[in-house]
Amino acid sequence: MSDTGITVSKKDNFSEWYVEVVQKSCLADYAPIKGCIIFREQSYAIWEKIQELFNKKIKSSGHKNVYFPMFIPESFLKKEAEHFEGFVPEVAWVTQGGETILEEKLAIRPTSETIIYSTFAKWIRSWRDLPIKINQWCNVVRWETKATKPFLRTREFLWQEGHTAHKTSEEAKKEVFDILDEYKDIMEKFLAIPVLVGIKTDNEKFAGALYTTTLEALMPDGKALQMGTSHNLGQNFAKVFNIEYVGEDKKNHKVWQTSWGISTRLIGALIMVHGDDRGLVVPPQVASVQVVIVPITYKKGDSSAIIEKSKEILENLEKNNISAVLDDRKEYTPGWKFHEWELKGIPIRIEIGPRDLKQNQITLARRDTYQKTNAKIEDTVQATKSLLDEIQENLYVTAKERLLEKITKVDDYEAFKDTLKTKGGFLKAAWCGKSSCEEKIKAETGATIRLKPFMKESSTDKCILCNEESEEIVYFARSY
RNA sequence: GGGGCUGUCGGCUAGUUUGGUCUAGGCUUGUAGACUUGGGCUCUAUAGACCCCGGUUCAAAUCCGGGCAGCCCCA
């Protein structure tokens, strides 16, 4: 085993393992600026896949892609007080252009509500202008001071931010939950990462929102990761930016708004949830290369028949919409290639050598379980397709089992602290609804309320901390 | 937000405690070639580093200060 491969095991040293996979699988490299990474070919390919999937979804429901400037005048950002308070600690500012000191400094967008909504105010006049449903793919900057980690917490990252304006509260609410469903679909069906959905507490909600819905996944080290959020902004921004329309009733009304986003953080989750001691594992649905064909050839003896057959298989796969590559490099041994493609997480490897050819078969090796099987050459497409489905399913099911295993109901504070320390994961506990309890638990244990479930679970439990009448059962966890 | 650790060829590692005959590796990687090929094979030749700035000193990889970067723990 050489150092081109992964040298620490995921189980023994998760943090080191993550850093190795990120770099050695060509996902990212560190940039010369603290907290910034270079998105390399492997991660960008996954990002493009996510873009493709999400664009398809939102376009079919009438959203349009647009692009707004990355600079936001300070006065805009300040208009919604809670929003400004929430973001100002991590805003990067432009104060100078060339030699000229700017009269008003410009924020590099940490999120674009303010600049977009100031424009909405110009665009919206009549009820006929509504709804407006736009989305943009862009970068945002949040000047993190805490320890940064590739993909999970970086100063600059890529995301999409959707922004909508509606006539009614009901319509806005529907939008929030429709998007939440689309996010869940992408995470579970495509990234094969199971998530819990719910509502954030007031402490954790988006600054300026009425409420925030969230999707939370669990990482193998027992910490929760926020995968995406969809906010109901109510009329908070409509009021400060004066976004009004004349309704059919000829009266002025303020619009109801939503905003929502997912980011390149999803890539970090994918690495952590599926990766193993051989490197990255990419779920077939988001793999830009689903199959690699490695011919087993010999210098002595004629290998042209094997290469010919490999090319034939490649064409056949591509014809059937399976994305495949043929690795016929002569300078590397088959074993070397196996390791390299495993490091990069390609779901299926097809081996074809003299023995296979003689028996008119191929060998299929799956990335998730390392299992090898054989198939007749004429059955290649079918065998590959069903194996891809199986891998996709297996990755999801395995992750789901791990998630469920790490959801623990706790009844008292000692058990809470103990479980958090020894097992991690999500802790279901009763909570009285007071911010003071939430904050005290955070200060004492590091765990925060990740979400309140949509369906309130009936319970007679008392608050885990203060023992007063509890409002509901919520999910706590330590998080990224 | 608080604390700790670390920075040496492309990668990994030793040397720092006690400044000097210190630069080093029989490891890996790159390059050229040979050999091999159903799981990172082997051999030959060759290339390549003390994070940055400043200070102490006759002398700094080593000590001191600052910066930058990375990791870990706690909140």
Q: What would the pLDDT profile of A115-156 be if each residue is shown by its tens digit?
A: 999 999 999 999 999 999 999 999 999 988 777 889 999 999
A302 and A224 fall within a common domain: no
CA distance A199 to A230: 10
Final residue before a domain boundary, out of A213, A239, A274 = A274
Higher-confidence position of A17 and A171: A171
Is residue A214 within 8 A of residue A228, CB to CB? The reply is yes
Query: Is A34 (CB) below 7 Å from strand B?
Result: yes
Six token digits for residue A364: 């299929």
Query: Is A149 (CB) below 7 Å from strand B?
Result: yes
Three-state DSSP at A454 gives coil
Nucleotide of closest approach to A4 (CA, C1'): B11
Q: Is the pLDDT of residue A3 over 60?
A: no
A281 found inside a domain? no
A399 found inside a domain? no
- A60 CA – B72 C1', rounded, Å: 46
A396 found inside a domain? no
Which helix or strand (DSSP H or E) is residue A390 part of?
A: helix A380-405
A42 and A156 fall within a common domain: yes
Higher-confidence position of A314 and A5: A314
* pLDDT-based confidence at residue A4 (cuts at 50, 70, 90): low
A398 found inside a domain? no
* pLDDT-based confidence at residue A301 (cuts at 50, 70, 90): low
* pLDDT-based confidence at residue A460 (cuts at 50, 70, 90): confident
A369 and A445 fall within a common domain: no
* pLDDT-based confidence at residue A300 (cuts at 50, 70, 90): low
A1 found inside a domain? no
Final residue before a domain boundary, out of A274, A305, A324 = A274
A21 and A94 fall within a common domain: yes
Query: Is A119 (CB) below 7 Å from strand B?
Result: no
Query: Is A35 (CB) below 7 Å from strand B?
Result: yes
A122 and A19 fall within a common domain: yes
CA angle (A134 as vertex; A130, A139 as ends), nearest 5? 155
A2 found inside a domain? no
Q: Is the pLDDT of residue A399 over 70?
A: yes
Which helix or strand (DSSP H or E) is residue A439 part of?
A: helix A435-445
Is residue A375 within 8 A of residue A365, CB to CB? The reply is no
Residue A409 forms beta bridges with which residues? Answer: A428
Summarize the confidence of residues A366-382 as an average pLDDT: 96
Name the E strands within A244-319. 244-246, 252-254, 256-263, 291-295
Is residue A42 within 8 A of residue A280, CB to CB? The reply is yes
A61 and A184 fall within a common domain: yes
pLDDT digits (tens, 9 = 90+) for A206-250: 999 999 999 999 999 899 999 999 999 999 999 999 999 999 999
Which residues of A spanning 358-387 put their CB closer than 7 angstroms to strand B? 363, 365, 370, 372
Domain residue limits at A320 = 289-387
Domain of residue A423, CATH code: 3.30.110.30
A90 and A149 fall within a common domain: yes
Which residues of A spanning 427-446 put their CB closer than 7 angstroms to strand B? 442-446
Which residues of A spanning 247-306 put their CB closer than 7 angstroms to strand B? 278, 296-300
pLDDT digits (tens, 9 = 90+) for A400-417: 999 999 999 999 999 999
Domain of residue A360, CATH code: 3.40.50.800
Q: What is the mean pLDDT of chain A?
A: 92
A206 and A229 fall within a common domain: yes
CA distance A420 to A417: 5
Least confident segment among A114-118, A214-218, A333-337, A389-393: A333-337
A305 found inside a domain? yes
Q: What's the number of domains chain A is made of?
A: 3
* pLDDT-based confidence at residue A21 (cuts at 50, 70, 90): confident
- A335 CA – B41 C1', rounded, Å: 10
Is residue A230 within 8 A of residue A213, CB to CB? The reply is yes
The bases of strand B with some atom under 7 A from any protein CB are 1-2, 10-12, 28-29, 36-41, 68-75
A339 and A449 fall within a common domain: no
A330 found inside a domain? yes
pLDDT for the residue A449:
95
Query: Nearest CA to A376 among A362, A358, A355?
Result: A362
A316 and A221 fall within a common domain: no
Q: Is the pLDDT of residue A199 over 80?
A: yes
Q: Is the pLDDT of residue A1 over 50?
A: no
A334 and A428 fall within a common domain: no
* pLDDT-based confidence at residue A2 (cuts at 50, 70, 90): very low
Is residue A324 within 8 A of residue A277, CB to CB? The reply is no
Query: Nearest CA to A273 among A213, A237, A222, A324?
Result: A222
A239 and A99 fall within a common domain: yes
Query: Nearest CA to A50 among A181, A156, A187, A162?
Result: A187
Q: Is the pLDDT of residue A384 over 90?
A: yes
